[in-house]
């Protein structure tokens, strides 16, 4: 009798792939099950091996192991570690097709989860267009990442984590990382460490985990330290090397510009920036409202809030509160929201959630809300709740700030309907 160990991996099955789904997979149907298949393209016929299941087998997950009928949009991945490294899941997709893929998934999410059929008066599938954010001298979708988290293996080689496991995948370079950080991949590092790399105005900076612990470095020109200084929106920003900052080299400027256009802050306005990180939007909008206005920024992470205070120190109209946004709302934040003219929220991947959305929706004086989203499903859920409270999605810009992966960043504008 065969044991499970002897049974080996499940046999590959033939599937015809339909459209893209959230999370970088394509959908297929077979054996009364819906399959989410990674490594394929819409329209392809593939052999795929099941990697998991849920819902008593009615939902199955699989990876492509052979392409029988390739799509015209299939390309050779630019990175030799594609498929093993967990970082990029759309390297096999031509860049233009990546943008169409992400536009379709985001529009589907807004329609299916958010019950949104139009943005302004434009049908949602026409309105959602993910825009490329090209960087001078760099191929489409490559060379954009300015911030990385890595681990070193027993030989001290820089590694990313594998696709379905904690396996460390040593990489000789990373095609989505900015040229200025590539030398780090050839560096000799201490084994068994977690490292954060970031590009700042002082060049490449590395920090060990936990933050502030010295990381041995053998890369000429790199510095070791817990903080990094970046330029964005015409200002300098101090950040933690391992802390949050928009990773794409152009992202801070692109997003500040989109938020400014969405909210059109005027002199004397009161601005609230929820989930402010080191103060990017509060700083940019706070400068526009002037000393007659106010900018209140709320951030949960103690270190980020401290850095935000330093970054906003030259704006007397700005104030930073270190708090969990949900608790802040419950403990009097709603009163501050009641006098806001415009609100920005840029929550983590899970979204803002019902309590925060209700409080923002109740902001009685607010003209507009700009919701910066890194997850389409969470944006759609929160948009549905804002809709129930009488706020309409009136505009949306979406940006490809994560070339070669399924992720997308959006700035959604809500106004009272």
Ligand X SMILES: C[S@@+](CC[C@H](N)C(=O)[O-])C[C@H]1O[C@@H](n2cnc3c(N)ncnc32)[C@H](O)[C@@H]1O
Q: Closest distance between ligand X and the C-beta of residue 148, in Å?
A: 16
Select 130 or 411, whichever has its Cβ closest to ligand X. 411
Task: Assess 50 for contact with ligand X (CB under 6 A).
Answer: no
Q: Tell me if residue 85 is catalytic.
A: no
The span of 18-26, 70-78, 213-221, 297-305 binding ligand X (CB under 6 A) equals 297-305
Select 23 or 348, whichever has its Cβ closest to ligand X. 348
Tell me which of 36, 95, 281, 399 binds ligand X, using CB under 6 A.
281
Interface with ligand X in residues 371-410 (CB under 6 A): 374
Phi, psi dihedrals of residue 195, rounded to the nearest 5°: -120, 145
Q: How far is CA 375 from CA 249, 371, 406, in A?
A: 19, 11, 10
Interface with ligand X in residues 226-265 (CB under 6 A): 244-246
Cβ proximity of 60 and 29 under 8 Å: no
Number of residues that bind ligand X (CB under 6 A): 18
**Parallel, antiparallel, or unpaired for β 342-345 and 270-274?**
parallel
Select 303 or 406, whichever has its Cβ closest to ligand X. 303
Q: Closest distance between ligand X and the C-beta of residue 185, in Å?
A: 26
Select 40 or 333, whichever has its Cβ closest to ligand X. 333
Select 185 or 245, whichever has its Cβ closest to ligand X. 245
Tell me which of 89, 140, 299, 409 binds ligand X, using CB under 6 A.
299
Tokens 């939902």 correspond to what residue? Answer: 59
Select 24 or 252, whichever has its Cβ closest to ligand X. 252
Q: Closest distance between ligand X and the C-beta of residue 237, in Å?
A: 8
User: Which residues, in sequence order, are CB contacts of 261 under 8 Å at separation 6+?
Assistant: none
CA 93, CA 45: separation in Å to the nearest integer?
A: 15
Residue 281 token pair: 């939007």
Select 111 or 326, whichever has its Cβ closest to ligand X. 326
Tokens 């390297």 correspond to what residue? Answer: 91
Facing residues of 208 across strands?
195
Interface with ligand X in residues 318-377 (CB under 6 A): 324-326, 346, 348, 374
Q: Closest distance between ligand X and the C-beta of residue 226, in Å?
A: 16
Residue 13 token pair: 């099955």
The span of 24-32, 73-81, 152-160, 293-301 binding ligand X (CB under 6 A) equals 293-301
CA 191, CA 394: separation in Å to the nearest integer?
A: 51
Select 289 or 374, whichever has its Cβ closest to ligand X. 374
Tell me which of 28, 88, 130, 276 binds ligand X, using CB under 6 A.
276
The span of 74-82, 110-118, 262-270, 298-306 binding ligand X (CB under 6 A) equals 298-306
Of 159, 174, 235, 374, the catalytic one is: 374
Facing residues of 237 across strands?
230
Tell me which of 89, 301, 375, 409 binds ligand X, using CB under 6 A.
301
Residue 257 token pair: 């510009």
Per-residue interface string for the shown chain with ligand X, residues 156-185, x marking contact by CB under 6 A: ------------------------------
Q: Closest distance between ligand X and the C-beta of residue 366, in Å?
A: 18
Q: How far is CA 245 from CA 16, 48, 100, 133, in A?
A: 39, 37, 26, 17
Tell me which of 200, 242, 293, 300 binds ligand X, using CB under 6 A.
300
Tokens 């759609």 correspond to what residue? Answer: 380
CA 87, CA 93: separation in Å to the nearest integer?
A: 15
Residues classed as catalytic: 374
**Residues near ligand X, by CB under 6 A:** 244-246, 275-277, 280-281, 299-301, 304, 324-326, 346, 348, 374
């Amino acid at each position: 009798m065969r044991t499970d160990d002897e049974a080996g991996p499940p046999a590959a099955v033939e599937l015809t792939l339909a459209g893209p789904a959230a999370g970088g997979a394509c959908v297929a149907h077979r054996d009364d099950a819906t399959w989410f298949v990674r490594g394929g393209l819409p329209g392809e016929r593939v052999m795929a091996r099941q990697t998991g299941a849920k819902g008593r087998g009615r939902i199955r997950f699989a990876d492509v192991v052979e392409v029988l009928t390739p799509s015209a949009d299939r390309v050779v991945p630019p990175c030799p570690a594609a498929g093993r490294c967990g970082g990029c899941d759309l390297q096999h997709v031509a860049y233009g097709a990546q943008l169409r893929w992400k536009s379709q998934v985001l529009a589907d999410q807004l329609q299916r989860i958010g019950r949104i059929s139009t943005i302004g008066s434009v049908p949602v599938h026409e309105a959602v267009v993910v825009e490329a954010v090209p960087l001078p001298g760099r191929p489409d979708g490559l060379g954009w990442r300015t911030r990385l988290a890595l681990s070193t293996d027993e030989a001290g080689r820089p590694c990313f984590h594998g696709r379905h496991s904690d396996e460390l995948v040593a990489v000789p370079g990373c095609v989505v990382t900015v040229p200025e950080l590539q030398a780090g991949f050839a560096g000799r590092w201490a084994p068994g460490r977690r490292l954060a790399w970031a590009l700042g105005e002082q060049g490449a900076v590395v920090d060990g985990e936990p933050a502030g612990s010295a990381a041995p470095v053998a890369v000429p020109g790199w510095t070791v330290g817990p903080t990094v200084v970046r330029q964005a929106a015409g200002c300098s920003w101090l950040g933690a090397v391992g802390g949050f900052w928009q990773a794409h080299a152009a992202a801070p400027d692109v997003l500040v510009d989109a938020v400014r256009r969405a909210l059109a802050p005027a002199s004397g306005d009161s601005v609230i920036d929820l989930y402010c990180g080191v103060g990017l939007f509060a700083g940019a909008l706070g400068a526009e409202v002037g000393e007659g206005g106010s900018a209140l920024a709320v951030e949960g992470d103690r270190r980020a809030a401290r850095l935000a205070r330093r970054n906003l120190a030259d704006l007397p109209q700005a104030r930073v509160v270190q708090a969990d946004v949900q608790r802040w709302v419950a403990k009097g934040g709603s009163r501050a929201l009641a006098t806001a003219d415009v609100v920005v929220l840029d929550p983590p991947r899970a979204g803002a959630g019902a309590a925060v959305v209700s409080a923002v929706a109740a902001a009685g004086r607010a003209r507009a809300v700009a919701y910066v989203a890194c997850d389409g499903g969470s944006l759609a859920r929160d948009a549905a709740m804002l809709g129930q409270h009488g706020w309409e999605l009136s505009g949306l810009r979406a940006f490809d700030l994560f070339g070669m992966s399924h992720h997308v960043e959006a700035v959604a504008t809500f106004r009272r309907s």
